[in-house]
Structures are given as structure tokens and as C-alpha cells.
């Protein structure tokens, strides 16, 4: 009897597409991470890593090295204060910042000296800069309420560099009461009204070139171009002092030039119009922009730094 053979095929084992979720291992891993967190392991690792942009303090050059790198001479002062000084002649390339280069450009003689005075811990933030030329000038680096720093001319109290307007009215020998009004009348839309004692002298708010003179409904007037797109017009003048200056257009006047007086009454006024870039600017605002720090704060700052 013939025997028939057939091919034997074993049964295939099919693997399931799903895996058992390793829940127990994940629980152990989570407990280990939680324990490492409470033990402060991650904080220690972060502290060991170098932060972006942070340099090792030991790699930073000292303020003296920085000073000498820019051809300056370093001096130690009291109270952890340092000074870097330069003798400036023809070249200003070695000065480390634009402010010092600007100050150096103001020299009148063939050579001048500049002194940068700052805390040794942060020598880039100066307390003041002293410029010794034919005259000495000090510029204070005073912090404002918003922590910004402004340069102030120590002699004038003005923001430096920039325009430094002066009060246009001088005073007679008569006393001025505490309630004396000098602030002007806000009701006047195109000019400020400044009050003073009769016959008080009137001088320009800034030096400049006379544009026009004449007489209008308010009295005599003088209009001056101060440069920097700033002009002023003073009206209501009682008279000119023709002996001191010629008031022809093109004449140059400075802060000491007497352009007129106010009327000879116990209390009188002049009218002041300031225009910047063609737009009217209030005197109080114009003055406040150039004097961002009052005299009391300047005096306190000088006392703190021992100037």
C-alpha cells in the first residue's frame, strides 16, 4: 500500500503588536528623580555648568589693567575708588569711550588732562569726569529715579552735552517775596509771561544771532536764532541798552548781553516765545529738559563722592 507523504508545516507564532507597559520601572524612575530633586542634586549640577555669557571673574582684567591698556595712568583713591588719567594732545584714539573723546575735543590748549573716577568694582560706571584745561570742568554722572544715569555739568547744573538756557530776567536790588510768580501763565497759548521787578534787566536765554528787532503791540522785541533749530522772541521790552550792543539783524549776543529792561513798575512782565523745530515750547518744559536734576540733588551727590 503506497504511503503518501505530505509536507509538514509547523504553526507560525504571531507576535503581538502591543507591548506590556513597564509600569513598575517607571514608578521606580519617578521615585529616583523625586529623591534627587529633594536632595538638591539638580541644583548642584546647574551650578557646575557654565552659564551663557558669564565669564569667570578671575579671567576679567582688573580696572588698572584696563586703564593701562588704553594708555591711561591708574591711581588708587580712598573708599574703593579708582582714577584713570590721560594727557590729551593731538590724538584721542586711546580714550576708551565716546564721552571721553567728546570731552577731550573741547580742549583749548595744546594739551589737557582728563580723569575718569569710578568704583573699582564697576569701573565702567564713572562717578564723575574731570577735565583740566585752561579752566577745570567737572561732569557728574548722577542716577535718576528710573536708575538711568545722566551727565551733568557741575558748574551750570545742565545736562551735558546739550543746550544750557538761563533765566532771561535779572533782578534788581529789591527783595522778592516767597509767593513771587515767575512760572508764566499757562493760559497764554503761544507765549509765556514772565514777571519781574520794574526795570529788571533782560538777557538772552541762550547765545545766538539776532534775527529781527522792532516794536509790536506788546512793546519792543528781540528775536534770536540760537542754533540747533531753536529760536526765541522776547516781547514787551521797555527799552534797549543801545550803549552795550547793536541790535541789527546778524548781531551776536551771549548770555551776558543786556537786550532790554522790563517796564518801570513795581511788578511788570515780558513775553517769551521759544520755538524748537518750528513748534512752540513752554519755557518751564524747555528749562526742565536741560536741568533734569535740581541743585539740592547735585549738592548731595557732590557731598557723597567727596567732590
pLDDT digits (tens, 9 = 90+) for 208-238: 999 999 888 888 999 999 999 999 999 999 8
Residue 72 has pLDDT above 70, yes or no: yes
pLDDT in the model for residue 5: 38
pLDDT in the model for residue 166: 92
pLDDT in the model for residue 265: 76
Contacts 24+ apart (CB under 8 A), 127-133: 127/81, 127/305, 128/154, 128/305, 128/307, 129/99, 129/100, 129/103, 131/103, 131/104, 131/106, 131/107, 133/106, 133/107, 133/108, 133/109
Contacting residues for 280 by C-beta, under 8 A, at least 6 apart:
190, 191, 273, 274
Numbers of helices and strands, H then E, in the chain: 6, 15
Taking 3-state DSSP, the helix, strand and coil percentages for the chain, each rounded to the nearest 5, stand at 20, 30, 50
Through-space distance between the first and last CA atoms of the chain, rounded to whole angstroms:
129
Question: What are the grid coordinates assigned to 268, written together?
Answer: 511788570
CATH code given to domain 192-290? 2.70.70.10
Region of 93 on the Ramachandran plot (φ > 0 left; ψ -120 to 50 alpha; else beta)? alpha
Span(s) in the chain for CATH 2.70.70.10: 192-290
- Local confidence band at 133 (pLDDT 50, 70, 90 cut-offs): confident
pTM of the model: 0.71
pLDDT tens, 236-261? 998 655 545 567 889 899 999 988 88
Rounded CA separation 194/185 (Å): 8
Q: What does the pLDDT average to over 202-206?
A: 94
The position carrying cell 526795570 is: 199
Q: What does the pLDDT average to over 15-22?
A: 55
112 CB burial (10 A radius; 0-12, 13-18, 19+): buried
Contacting residues for 306 by C-beta, under 8 A, at least 6 apart:
78, 79
Q: b/e per residue, 55-73, with b = 16+ CB within 10 A?
A: eeeeeeeebbebbeeeebe
Amino acid at each position: 500500500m503506497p504511503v503518501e507523504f505530505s509536507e509538514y508545516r509547523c504553526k507560525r507564532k504571531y507576535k503581538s503588536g502591543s507591548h506590556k507597559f513597564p509600569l513598575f520601572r517607571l514608578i521606580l524612575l519617578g521615585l529616583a528623580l523625586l529623591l534627587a530633586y529633594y536632595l538638591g542634586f539638580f541644583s548642584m549640577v546647574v551650578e557646575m555648568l557654565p552659564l551663557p555669557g558669564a565669564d569667570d571673574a578671575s579671567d576679567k582684567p582688573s580696572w588698572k589693567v584696563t586703564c593701562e591698556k588704553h594708555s591711561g595712568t591708574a591711581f588708587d583713591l580712598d573708599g574703593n575708588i579708582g582714577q584713570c588719567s590721560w594727557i590729551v594732545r593731538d590724538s584721542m584714539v586711546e580714550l576708551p569711550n565716546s564721552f571721553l573723546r567728546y570731552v577731550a575735543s573741547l580742549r583749548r590748549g595744546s594739551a589737557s588732562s582728563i580723569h575718569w573716577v569710578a568704583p573699582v568694582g564697576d569701573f565702567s560706571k564713572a562717578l564723575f569726569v574731570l577735565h583740566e584745561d585752561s579752566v577745570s570742568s567737572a561732569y557728574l554722572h548722577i542716577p535718576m529715579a528710573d536708575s538711568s544715569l545722566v551727565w551733568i555739568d557741575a558748574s551750570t547744573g545742565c545736562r551735558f552735552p546739550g543746550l544750557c538756557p538761563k533765566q532771561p530776567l535779572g533782578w534788581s536790588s529789591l527783595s522778592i517775596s516767597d509767593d513771587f510768580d515767575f512760572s508764566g501763565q499757562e493760559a497764554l497759548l503761544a507765549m509765556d509771561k514772565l514777571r519781574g521787578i520794574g526795570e529788571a534787566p533782560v538777557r538772552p536765554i541762550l547765545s545766538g544771532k539776532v534775527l529781527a528787532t522792532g516794536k509790536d503791540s506788546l512793546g519792543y522785541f528781540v528775536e534770536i536764532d540760537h542754533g540747533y533749530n531753536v529760536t526765541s522772541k522776547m516781547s514787551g521790552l521797555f527799552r534797549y541798552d543801545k550803549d552795550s550792543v547793536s541790535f541789527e539783524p546778524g548781531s551776536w549776543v551771549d548770555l551776558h548781553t543786556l537786550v532790554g529792561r522790563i517796564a518801570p513798575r513795581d511788578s511788570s512782565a515780558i513775553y517769551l516765545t521759544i520755538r524748537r523745530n518750528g513748534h512752540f515750547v513752554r519755557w518751564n518744559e524747555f528749562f526742565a529738559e536741560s536741568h533734569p536734576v535740581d541743585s539740592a540733588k547735585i549738592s548731595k551727590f557732590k557731598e557723597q563722592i567727596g567732590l
